[in-house]
Each structure stands twice: as C-alpha cells, then as structure tokens.
Amino acid sequence: MLRVIGLLLLIPLFDIVLLVTVAIPFLGALVTVALVVLTALVGMLLVRAEGRATLRKIQQRLAVGELPTDELIDGGLLIAAGAFFLTPGLVTDFVGLLLAVPFTRYPVRAATRRWVVRPYIDAKTGGFASGQVYIGGFPDDDGGPTGQGPTGPEDGPGPGSGSGSGTSFDPNDATDVDFEDNDEN
C-alpha cells in the first residue's frame, strides 16, 4: 500500500518537472496553462458523462437482482479520474484520461480486481469469498500444545502400523470407525 501512495505522490512531482522543463520552454507559459485548463475541462465533461452511464448500468444490474461489481469498480476509477483531472498538469490529465475512457479503463479495472479487490476480500474473509480456502489443517497450528507436527511424534508408531490395541481413534484414519455393527445396539 505504501508503494501505491508513493507512486501517487510521484505523479504530480513528475508532472511539475515536465511542465517546467519541457512544456513551458517549448510551448510558452500561456499556451501551457491554456492546455492544462482545456484538458481538465474536457476530462471533467468526459468523467461526468461516463459517471452517468455507469450509474445507469448500476441501476439496471440492481433492477434484475445482480451485483454491479464491475460498475462499482468503474465508479471508483471514475472518481480517481476526476481527481487526476482536477490536479493541474499534463501527466495527471493523461492518467485521468486513461481512467475515464471505457476501452482503456477495462484493463485497469481487471488489474484493480486482481491485485487490489481480490487480495483485500481474501484477507477479510480468510479466502472463503474467492474460493482460496486453506484446507491443510489449522492455518495457525504449529503442532498443537505439545509442539509436535500434525502427524504425531516422530519416534512413535504412526496410524495403521498395527502396534496398538486397535481401540485408539485417529481422526485422519477412517478405517478405525466401524459403522456396520451399529445394528446390534
């Protein structure tokens, strides 16, 4: 998460450097300011139109009883696009344009779902929401109270070795339970 915040802080810094070293000397100060204002205005109109379309899609999905997951991610990306358009600069306007245009927003949405949404949901639900459930025993079990591993002591007999009396119960060995003799009770 700190890397994302660091990247978001580096974008405006890179934007200022680009404006001072490239745009102002070649285009002039007045043209550069006019270009930044024009891209911000056009971008905000685009975000407004895409936001209305996304809201309409959310309402349609909810009307038929479906979850609007893609549309909600699009709404969040459009909010981020609006913030980038409000930040003065050419690089931030370009990033905002990438997030506002539907065909460039699709890969960003897929990456957001894969690297942000799914890990967050897995962390909150223990993997049950995405099906990535840990099934190898107790996840935090370091061998139980005796400090032994999940298979028992290393020097003792293992399950099914035949050295015991046959009356012990091993939950991992289904052959210890005799279900056929229950009719005699």
Each residue of 114-151: pLDDT tens digit? 999 988 888 888 878 777 776 766 666 565 555 444 55
Q: How many angstroms separate the CA atoms of 51 and 75, rounded?
A: 7
Model pTM? Answer: 0.67
The average pLDDT across 175-184 equals 49
Tally of CB atoms within 10 A around 84: 26
Give buried/exposed letters for 45-74 (b at 16+ CB in 10 A, else e). ebbeebbeebeeebeebeeeeeebebbebb
Confirm if 15 and 92 have CB atoms less than 8 A apart.
Answer: yes
Which pLDDT score is estimated for 152? 45
What digits encode the pLDDT tens for the residues 66-101? 999 999 999 999 999 999 999 888 889 999 999 999
Contacts of 173 (CB under 8 A, 6+ apart): 159, 160
φ, ψ of residue 56 to 5 degrees: the values are: -65, -40
